[in-house]
A = this chain, B = another copy of it.
């Protein structure tokens, strides 16, 4: 099924406590190369048929209006996957 993938991450200057917790756990477990971890969302919008240009524009609007909170999150990408 064709999809549009929307990726949302917490803003760079915002604390991400869950990410910090994972980063600390990885350090403790010996994965010293991982300096930091941030956890965001990956949202799949499924379509019956290949998304049109208009669907993609609509998906960008949906991403900004519904799927992310502009105060604390950034939409990092909106891509089509067939």
Contacts and interface: CB of A to CB of B under 8 A. Distances in A.
Interface in A42-63: 42-48, 51, 55, 58, 62
How many copies of this kind of chain does the complex include? 2
B34 A46 contact: yes
A72 interface: no
Contact of A43 (B1, B29, B31, B37): B37
Interface of A: 1, 7-9, 19, 22, 25-26, 29, 31, 33-48, 51, 55, 58, 62, 66-67
Given A36-B46, A43-B38, A43-B40, A62 B9 contact: no
Given A34-B47, A37-B43, 17 more contacts: A8-B42, A9-B42, A9-B44, A19-B43, A19-B44, A26-B45, A26-B62, A26-B66, A31-B62, A33-B55, A33-B58, A34-B45, A34-B46, A35-B46, A36-B45, A38-B43, A42-B42
